[in-house]
Chain A
């Protein structure tokens, strides 16, 4: 019991402290490609610290659930992150079938953020929320297919076991499909532009227009955590864990997440945004890639 608590505490601290690094790195890469110097890598940490001290301006239409919902969404994202193994360390709270809980924890976060957006009675936030829940239908299909493929490869539906073995025959398809999901779920280009200034075209940023102070800090931190969580998932699909010494495995894991982050940054810098009516098509491509991966895994596992 004590060990489990220690492990959980360490994982929360590690993930929570490292998460805000990723958006900073992505911004840095984008600035670097564009030939600018860009804000410091630790900018999000400064932002979070400042927001945490600020007072709150709350929409006069919003209920207390507007703020409680943000806390729920943050806890749900953190819970999903706790289900992931970290290299050789299996999740201490994992169990058979936790992959399903993982998907639904992310859904809980989405339920709360979109509902909080609708609470403000703003049409922009309604638009953002509508896009978020609609595109999530396709990403959830892709994630479900991807997780089932992993499950069939490892004959288990527990994330710690599913991510343990080395890459199976379906990995290339799966990684590509889930990379598209990562970009969409974390509102990166080509689905959403975190730096855009036009409310009409935003998804995630449009939903948080009316948040401020500590709730906004929780939202930003939760978004960074979600990015880290998807990166870890994607990286551990490729990397076999447990083969080497723990320190080496952790270093490899961190390096791989770094590489993935740079890749996201390069994608953002080099690709233009998609028109909204193209987004479902691209997401369907991601889903089909995961579906083919599932098909390969199913064929490979047949006696």
Chain B
């Protein structure tokens, strides 16, 4: 059954490549059919808990094919299909033939390659083939990011992505090669009984950490996600970051993990969460802001995952499964609401032609659907009830509290993490109030914002579907706990004990009740207002007679207090001219937050590497005398070593 479904999907994938060039509608249908096949297979595996495995004598690169779909792979595959499907439909009209005649067909090709290679990565149980699929998806993502490569900014973002990804891939080459050398084969599977493999996990941590965008390895992420076409941004942050998480979870389940790595992941998660949202608050570019929120949410996922590793190292299944379940559920949640937000940002970009928040405003009039979906996504990502973000964060909070209450090793770290997770929530709320308020509400700040238009149904539909997903997980969390528990059990069977989710049931009931009351109260108040009489008037601005939209509070000023607290890392740069003299003439002030980590840390590191490389290159300059000299020195060295120490 599962083999059949996956075979059909594979066929669809090949067909999609074939028809991508000329027939967009047919291509969309084929892609959706392929995704539906994978989704069905994933649901079957998640529901039954069975593991599907397939070995073939068909050889690629000297290795026989070995695919495997267990609950953990299926969990991530389900997210891939849902977000991928929504973004495919959206992309069809967002990056249409009419608007982008040069790149639409190419985009469809690479899109098919991306979806296909991501699925293969999730299914792989052979190290060599895993690497091949990994590299293929990295390249496909690169070509999708640079679809609109006339803009220099896009090319730079793509180059940074490619360079950073390959630093990661280099680590993965080392990781898989060493693994294969120690194990005597490329086949992957549980190898927890080889404690000598533990140090290898550090390589995996860096390699997969770069892909998942954990702080400070996130430097490529903001510009890549901001400059990619929005449906690509949606799948990049909704799914491909999670593939990095998937790989970390997968290999930490198979390999022995040094405890220091578990703490590094948890600590990195806390730092990512707090600093990710701090950087987001400083951004003026809508999509770059959303990209920094991906860093934040990856941090939340890693907090849960890191503590789950600690729990399984010390044998605390009770709270271990809570944090792991929260972490995995947050993978789904973030996939849903971040894709929704990126698609919303895409609709804004589509309608107004700008991503600069200070040029937007008042879009709710022209774009009520987009506004509604975006605000829903914003509430969900801020972890507000009755939506899905709270459910996963609540599970993590509960696990962290139980860890502290059990006085587990270093339980004070769990307390610190819980407090900082709360702070992250408050910061995210501040940030999304800023985004929604500045972009969608108030008055339009420019003509472009005033003349915005709502996007078509092909773009609205996917947003509504993703929003419905956020609402469904929020209102009926128990329904979605089954797959999470199955994936947790597949990761570490020790955490599989039957957790009766009674508190989760109570939370779901609360959410349902709350949703009903909110609806009721909203309608009742509107009705009362209508019956009392409603009159529109200008906003009261202290009696000022000629208010203009430019007098509104800007995003920069809104976030100013908090970015001031984080000035030590954000290093905000002020440009402008202060008012001078008794009758000041023109004055201006602008603040922008640079890519501090890239410019201050990674940049100097990279120039150091370049400097070193340039000096090493001096050795190779094509003069025969020099090479003879090297030979003589080399032979002398060998002689010295042989006579002095090497001979027995």
Q: Which residues on A are within 8 Å of B, measured CB to CB? A: 52-65, 67-68, 70-72, 74-76, 79, 93, 95-98, 100-101, 103-105, 107-108, 110-111, 114-115, 117-127, 129-131, 133-134, 136-137, 140-141, 143-145, 148, 151-152, 155, 157, 199, 209-210, 213-215, 218, 280, 291, 294, 298, 301-303
Which residues from 346 to 372 on chain B have a C-beta closer than 8 Å to any C-beta of chain A?
361-362, 364-365, 371
Residues of A within 8 A of B507 (CB): 95, 97, 101
Give A151's nearest chain B residue, CB to CB: B401
Q: How far is the CB of A180 from chain B (nearest CB, A)?
A: 16
What sequence of 0s and 1s flags, for each residue 491-520 of chain B, a beta carbon within 8 Å of any chain A beta carbon? 000000000001100110010011001100
A157 near B385: Cβ-Cβ < 8 Å: no
Chain B interface extent, by class: 35 or more
List the one stretch of B128-136, B142-150, B282-290, B423-431 in contact with chain A.
B423-431
Q: How far is the CA of A271 from the CA of B202 in the complex (A)?
A: 56
B423 near A141: Cβ-Cβ < 8 Å: yes
Q: Does B125 contact A (CB under 8 A)?
A: no
Q: How far is the CA of A60 from the CA of B557 in the complex (A)?
A: 23
Residues of A within 8 A of B565 (CB): 280
Q: Does B443 contact A (CB under 8 A)?
A: yes
Residues of B within 8 A of A119 (CB): 437, 441-442
Q: Does B538 contact A (CB under 8 A)?
A: yes
Extra contacts besides A71-B526, A151-B405 (7): CB < 8 Å: A55-B535, A56-B535, A118-B442, A121-B552, A122-B552, A140-B423, A157-B401
* 27 sampled A-B residue pairs with Cβ under 8 A: A52-B528, A54-B532, A65-B375, A70-B525, A71-B522, A74-B521, A76-B518, A95-B507, A96-B502, A101-B390, A111-B382, A121-B539, A122-B541, A122-B552, A125-B553, A126-B552, A129-B558, A130-B560, A134-B561, A137-B430, A141-B422, A141-B423, A141-B426, A144-B418, A157-B397, A210-B539, A298-B404
Q: How far is the CB of A210 from chain B (nearest CB, A)?
A: 6
A126 near B425: Cβ-Cβ < 8 Å: no
Which residues from 384 to 421 on chain B have a C-beta closer than 8 Å to any C-beta of chain A?
384-385, 390, 393-394, 397-398, 401, 404-405, 407, 411-412, 415, 418-419
Q: How far is the CA of A67 from the CA of B375 in the complex (A)?
A: 15
Q: Does B106 contact A (CB under 8 A)?
A: no
Give B560's nearest chain A residue, CB to CB: A130
Residues of B within 8 A of A104 (CB): 383-385, 390, 394, 425
Q: Does B98 contact A (CB under 8 A)?
A: no
- The 8 Å CB contact of B525, one of A54, A67, A76, A101, is A67
Known: A100-B397, A104-B425, A115-B437. A75 touches B521 (CB 8 A): yes
Which residues from 422 to 474 on chain B have a C-beta closer than 8 Å to any C-beta of chain A?
422-423, 425-427, 429-430, 432-433, 436-438, 441-443
Q: Does B573 contact A (CB under 8 A)?
A: no
Listed from nearest, the 4 A-B pairs whose CB atoms lie closest are A126-B553, A118-B437, A95-B506, A55-B533
B429 near A133: Cβ-Cβ < 8 Å: yes
Which residues from 535 to 552 on chain B have a C-beta closer than 8 Å to any C-beta of chain A?
535-542, 549, 551-552
Q: How far is the CA of A43 from the CA of B542 in the complex (A)?
A: 26
The SS class assigned to the B binding surface is helix
Q: How far is the CB of A208 from chain B (nearest CB, A)?
A: 11
Known: A115-B437, A144-B422. A61 touches B503 (CB 8 A): no
Give A51's nearest chain B residue, CB to CB: B532
Q: How far is the CA of A74 from the CA of B502 in the complex (A)?
A: 28
Give B420's nearest chain A residue, CB to CB: A141
B383 near A148: Cβ-Cβ < 8 Å: no
A140 near B418: Cβ-Cβ < 8 Å: no
Q: Does B590 contact A (CB under 8 A)?
A: no
- The 8 Å CB contact of A67, one of B404, B529, B552, is B529
Q: How far is the CA of A114 from the CA of B432 in the complex (A)?
A: 11
Known: A75-B518, A126-B437, A137-B427. A148 touches B419 (CB 8 A): yes
Q: How far is the CA of A4 from the CA of B371 in the complex (A)?
A: 38
Q: Does B628 contact A (CB under 8 A)?
A: no
Q: How far is the CB of B20 from chain A (nearest CB, A)?
A: 41
A103 near B422: Cβ-Cβ < 8 Å: yes
Total of A-B residue pairs, C-beta within 8 Å: 249
A101 near B394: Cβ-Cβ < 8 Å: yes
Q: Which residues on B are within 8 Å of A, measured CB to CB? A: 361-362, 364-365, 371, 375, 379, 382-385, 390, 393-394, 397-398, 401, 404-405, 407, 411-412, 415, 418-419, 422-423, 425-427, 429-430, 432-433, 436-438, 441-443, 502-503, 506-507, 510, 513-514, 517-518, 521-522, 524-526, 528-529, 532-542, 549, 551-553, 557-562, 565
Q: How far is the CA of A68 from the CA of B519 in the complex (A)?
A: 9
Among B415, B514, B536: residue with most chain A CB under 10 A: B415
- The 8 Å CB contact of A100, one of B398, B502, B537, is B398
Residues of B within 8 A of A127 (CB): 553, 557
Q: How far is the CB of A136 from chain B (nearest CB, A)?
A: 5
Q: How far is the CB of A298 from chain B (nearest CB, A)?
A: 7
Among A119, A143, A210, A291: residue with most chain B CB under 10 A: A119
B525 near A157: Cβ-Cβ < 8 Å: no
Q: How far is the CA of A112 from the CA of B646 in the complex (A)?
A: 76
A118 near B441: Cβ-Cβ < 8 Å: yes
Residues of B within 8 A of A110 (CB): 429
Residues of B within 8 A of A218 (CB): 525
Give B537's nearest chain A residue, CB to CB: A57
Q: How far is the CA of A291 from the CA of B412 in the complex (A)?
A: 11
Residues of A within 8 A of B534 (CB): 55-56, 58
Q: How far is the CB of B467 from chain A (nearest CB, A)?
A: 15
Q: How far is the CA of A129 from the CA of B432 in the complex (A)?
A: 12
B522 near A124: Cβ-Cβ < 8 Å: no
- The 8 Å CB contact of A72, one of B364, B404, B522, is B522
A114 near B433: Cβ-Cβ < 8 Å: yes
Residues of B within 8 A of A65 (CB): 364, 375, 441
Residues of A within 8 A of B438 (CB): 118
Q: How far is the CA of A21 from the CA of B551 in the complex (A)?
A: 38
Q: How far is the CB of A300 from chain B (nearest CB, A)?
A: 11
Q: How far is the CA of A140 from the CA of B382 in the complex (A)?
A: 13
Q: How far is the CA of A133 from the CA of B401 in the complex (A)?
A: 26
B542 near A124: Cβ-Cβ < 8 Å: yes
Residues of B within 8 A of A121 (CB): 361-362, 441-443, 539, 549, 552
Q: How far is the CA of A298 from the CA of B403 in the complex (A)?
A: 12
A61 near B362: Cβ-Cβ < 8 Å: yes
A148 near B503: Cβ-Cβ < 8 Å: no
B518 near A71: Cβ-Cβ < 8 Å: yes
Give B418's nearest chain A residue, CB to CB: A148
Known: A122-B539, A140-B423. A133 touches B430 (CB 8 A): yes
Q: How far is the CA of A134 from the CA of B361 in the complex (A)?
A: 22
Residues of A within 8 A of B541 (CB): 122-124
- The 8 Å CB contact of B526, one of A60, A67, A93, A117, is A67
